[in-house]
A and B are shown apart, each in its own frame.
Chain A
Amino acid sequence: MRELFLAETETQCRVLSDGLVALEIRPGDPALLESLMRAAHSLKGAARIIELGEAVRVAHAMEDAFVSAQKGEVALGSSAIDRLLRGVDLMSRLASAESPAELQDEVEDFVTGPAGQDKASAKPGAAPATESSAPTAKADDDSRSLRVAAESLDQLLGSAGESLVASRRIRAFSNEFWRLHGHQRKTAATLESAIASASGGGDVSSSLRQLQTMVESGDRLVLASLAEFERFERNSAQLSQRLYGQALACRMRPFGAIASSLRRAARDTARHLGREVAFEVRGEGTDVDRDLLDKIESPLLHLVRNAIDHGIEPPAERAAAGKPAAGRVIIEASHSAGFLVIRVSDDGHGVDPAELRSRVVAKGLTDAATAAKLTGGELLEFLFLPGFSLRAEVTEISGRGVGLDVVQSAARESRGTVRISSDPGQGTAFVLQLPISLSVMKALIFEIGGEPYAIPLARVDRVMCVPAQAIESIEGSQYVNVDQSRVGIVDGAAILNRQLRNEPREQVDILLLSSAEGRFGIVVSRFLGEGEIVVQPLDKRLGRVRDISAAALTEDGSPMLLLDVDDFLLSVKRLAAGGQLQGITAKSAGPEKAARQILVVDDSLTVRELERKLLSSLGYAVEVAVDGMDAWNAARTGRFAAVVTDVDMPRMDGIELTRLIKNDARLRDTPVIIVSYKDREEDRLRGLDAGADYYLTKGSFQDEGLARAVADVLGEDPTP
């Protein structure tokens, strides 16, 4: 445990000192303060786990300093940074000290010290960061070192050695072939002389007998080599499979590897808060990609603490509700439908929708009327906002705004999702859905336009091969009948902008995919089969490619591309709706002035509709996008007069969208208006730093803030 803490301290102290040094250069930078605060917060949590009281106090004091700076109560000047850096040193000494108690005096001195904090001379926002603030301390991914169990590595090395030996045997086969070749030549020569003597009228029966023996011995030679070769092939296939498995094992760790820290966190939190908790870890043997495990460990620890702190009621309250005194908190890892699913559930009091609704309104995030319209799911999403807590007082455990937003961003970074469900009175469950490995996947492989593509098997509904005449067509769009319902079909080549093959086909291969909005059929050139593929990220310089998520190699070593299913379905939808949409806009565009197009981006249907109605009523033509990536793909066409976007969205958030638009030479003049629930000053600055022209909070629908902002950026008279 102590060793782990030492390692964590090393990492976080590096973040802290790098961050503090950077802070001196860019005073008040909100992103820096945020990462500093998180580092101190993590250190505090880690110190608490190993019950190193002195370290908890030091980290807590540091965190306090950063939180005050975030609120603008103090400005961290050079002397304050000196002091904080001394704190960082103290922290690492505490971590490695034989008897931390000896440092008691220094700790006391640091914690109670006159702060050395300069009085706030200016609001931190007064000197905004000059450049977009990139995260400061990120280890270089490619050159990092990994800790692999010696056993795994030895096995891998053993197999690699075997493979090396095996490859030498191929030489023997080529020798065999040469021998066979010589034999064939001899047979041919004998045959030739036999033919010559036969045409001369001589007796060839002895030659024929000789030829027969030669052919037979040649055949024996072939058979012997063949048997040997087949044995070799089998061994080689097994060896390769083993090599691959062992290499893969070096990447995987059992979920149980973090069980002890989860248990410890649960126990300590429960004891600290005076709750009785029966904590259970299930699925300890579930294999998890090691990078993924590293990424999700601290979010999971947080979810466990959160479940106990916010979920489980004090014993008396539980007794009154007729529940057993000990609350249950279960964390379960399993593989399901090609995903790693981690579920953290408790049987506590759940989230009261009425209370949450009133809290959302009280925080000014939206008005009562809109709040009443929000569905349960949309309402629970508010829990993921940074700084949002149902808890009024700040405790050491949670409620400080370092929280569920961290869980959500960790899930997204790993290409996963997190959902909350809650039964008032019965408990709350958080479900993280993550890729099993960041690198291996079962996939369906097929050809589009003569080139191989793959799609995660888990996302495939069904594959079909239908006769061409089964495809019917209504008003130019084609469909097939599946289970008595019509399913629209689109040619995959059209979506990927590949050349359409117009040759008539008797049979058509169709891939059925479905999303929340319905089912689609994708016409592919042909199916190649299914298999395990090793996913490779595409070169980072490529940026995001529409419809494509990664690459892999086929069995024969040629490259193939992995389709991004969600993106692909959006493209399908757009293509399917394309004809119709064009028809309508062409008609409605008045002769004197075409309505200016505005792109509205939000992942909440309610908000999207509110904004759409508001802007349509002002005479704008509104198009919608459901997340940043969808929006970016639409915006790239350059047909929008302005973009109105939310911040927190799956796949690509509004900040990144804004940055992309503002960094694009062609699009940079397109005004971007951010409308977000996030109303903290640093959130606003983050938006404006990214290049947004306006940063509005979602309360602005009713006060015409949005309408005014749109009119302003488009250089029009304010609409009366």
Chain B
Amino acid sequence: MNTAFFQREPEAADRERWRSEIAATPPSSDHAGRLVLFVFRVGGERFGIEPAHVELAALLPDIHSMPHRGASLAGVVNVRGTVTLCFSLADVLGCAPGPAADRPMLLVLAHGGWRVACRVDHAEGMSEFAQPDLQAPPSTLQAATHVKGIFESGNGPGVGWLDMDSLFEAFDAAAR
């Protein structure tokens, strides 16, 4: 990689353009109560995770299954040279089946010093939500135990905001 490119002084014209762009962004007070989540689809359901917990999203590589373990543990995958546990989010969250995955993805999540991979059916990318719009999950929802709440969304089903503590506890239980 040519690092010199990134280390060079920016051109005066660029600097002026950036200054005006930044000045044009809405005042930061508007950001209070707004939340950016990485949104993805598993089966027929949509979920969101704070981007800080998503280390990598990539095309799904080969998963090697793990003998003598349940279906929640899909197996192990190679994440940048490290053999990493891969969970089936559909199984852990008990998702209703949805449209077949045209582009299954691998998400690498990290929380509390533990890094795991999981298979999702589609990664949509970042979306912004307003905190006040958060609704309590219906008690009938199977995945409800791992969801802090649901953001209604114009396009498609609501997005369940995943509670990382609870999700990683479920991973931990599925690993054993």
Q: Do residues B114 and A545 form an inter-chain contact, with CB atoms below 8 A?
A: no
CA distance A551 to B86 in the complex (A): 13
Is B156 part of the binding interface, using a Cβ–Cβ cutoff of 8 Å? no
Q: Answer whether A559 and B64 are a contact pair too, CB < 8 Å, given A539-B85, A541-B176, A542-B85.
A: yes
Q: Do residues B64 and A553 form an inter-chain contact, with CB atoms below 8 A?
A: no
CA distance A527 to B126 in the complex (A): 45
Is A547 part of the binding interface, using a Cβ–Cβ cutoff of 8 Å? yes
A496: nearest residue on chain B (CB-CB)?
Answer: B67
Q: Answer whether A551 and B67 are a contact pair too, CB < 8 Å, given A538-B76, A541-B176, A558-B62.
A: no
Is B142 part of the binding interface, using a Cβ–Cβ cutoff of 8 Å? no
Q: Do residues B78 and A559 form an inter-chain contact, with CB atoms below 8 A?
A: yes
Residues of B within 8 A of A452 (CB): 64
B173: nearest residue on chain A (CB-CB)?
Answer: A541
Q: Do residues A548 and B67 form an inter-chain contact, with CB atoms below 8 A?
A: yes
B62: nearest residue on chain A (CB-CB)?
Answer: A558
- Contact residues of B: prevailing secondary structure: mixed
A541: nearest residue on chain B (CB-CB)?
Answer: B175
Is B65 part of the binding interface, using a Cβ–Cβ cutoff of 8 Å? yes
Q: Do residues B176 and A553 form an inter-chain contact, with CB atoms below 8 A?
A: no
CA distance A231 to B61 in the complex (A): 30
- Interchain CB contact (< 8 A) of A451 among B65, B116, B172: B65
Is A557 part of the binding interface, using a Cβ–Cβ cutoff of 8 Å? yes
Cβ proximity bits B63-79 to A, threshold 8 Å, 1 near / 0 not: 11111110000011110
Question: How far is the CB of B77 from the nearest CB of chain A, in Å?
Answer: 6
Is A359 part of the binding interface, using a Cβ–Cβ cutoff of 8 Å? no
Is A95 part of the binding interface, using a Cβ–Cβ cutoff of 8 Å? no
Q: Do residues B64 and A552 form an inter-chain contact, with CB atoms below 8 A?
A: no
CA distance A536 to B61 in the complex (A): 18
Question: How far is the CB of A156 from the nearest CB of chain B, in Å?
Answer: 16
Q: Do residues A558 and B64 form an inter-chain contact, with CB atoms below 8 A?
A: yes
Q: Do residues A551 and B83 form an inter-chain contact, with CB atoms below 8 A?
A: yes
Is A543 part of the binding interface, using a Cβ–Cβ cutoff of 8 Å? yes
Number of A residues near B (Cβ < 8 Å) is 23
CA distance A543 to B64 in the complex (A): 17
Q: Answer whether A547 and B78 are a contact pair too, CB < 8 Å, given A542-B176, A552-B83.
A: no
Q: Do residues B83 and A559 form an inter-chain contact, with CB atoms below 8 A?
A: yes
Residues of B within 8 A of A541 (CB): 85, 114, 171-172, 175-176
Q: Do residues A553 and B78 form an inter-chain contact, with CB atoms below 8 A?
A: yes
Q: Do residues B64 and A539 form an inter-chain contact, with CB atoms below 8 A?
A: no
Residues of A within 8 A of B68 (CB): 496-497, 545-548
B85: nearest residue on chain A (CB-CB)?
Answer: A539
Q: Do residues B83 and A542 form an inter-chain contact, with CB atoms below 8 A?
A: no
Q: Do residues B76 and A551 form an inter-chain contact, with CB atoms below 8 A?
A: yes
Question: How far is the CB of B119 from the nearest CB of chain A, in Å?
Answer: 14
B172: nearest residue on chain A (CB-CB)?
Answer: A541
Cβ proximity bits B85-121 to A, threshold 8 Å, 1 near / 0 not: 1000000000000000000000000000010100000
Q: Do residues A561 and B84 form an inter-chain contact, with CB atoms below 8 A?
A: no
Is B82 part of the binding interface, using a Cβ–Cβ cutoff of 8 Å? yes
Q: Answer whether A538 and B114 are a contact pair too, CB < 8 Å, given A451-B65, A551-B76.
A: no
B113: nearest residue on chain A (CB-CB)?
Answer: A142
Is B33 part of the binding interface, using a Cβ–Cβ cutoff of 8 Å? no
Is A560 part of the binding interface, using a Cβ–Cβ cutoff of 8 Å? yes
Q: Do residues A497 and B62 form an inter-chain contact, with CB atoms below 8 A?
A: no
Residues of A within 8 A of B69 (CB): 542, 545
A561: nearest residue on chain B (CB-CB)?
Answer: B64
Question: How far is the CB of B165 from the nearest CB of chain A, in Å?
Answer: 15
CA distance A645 to B131 in the complex (A): 56
Question: How far is the CB of B43 from the nearest CB of chain A, in Å?
Answer: 23
Give 25 pairs: A residue, B residue, CB < 8 Å, sorted on A: A451-B64, A452-B64, A496-B68, A497-B67, A497-B68, A539-B84, A539-B116, A541-B114, A541-B172, A541-B175, A542-B66, A542-B69, A542-B175, A543-B176, A545-B66, A545-B67, A551-B64, A551-B76, A551-B83, A553-B78, A553-B83, A559-B62, A559-B63, A559-B77, A559-B78
Given A496-B67, A542-B176, A545-B67, output 15 extra A-B contacts at Cβ < 8 Å: A496-B68, A536-B83, A541-B85, A541-B176, A542-B66, A543-B175, A545-B68, A545-B69, A548-B66, A557-B78, A559-B64, A559-B77, A560-B64, A561-B64, A561-B76
Closest 9 CB pairs of A and B: A551-B83, A558-B62, A496-B67, A559-B64, A541-B175, A559-B76, A539-B85, A546-B68, A536-B83
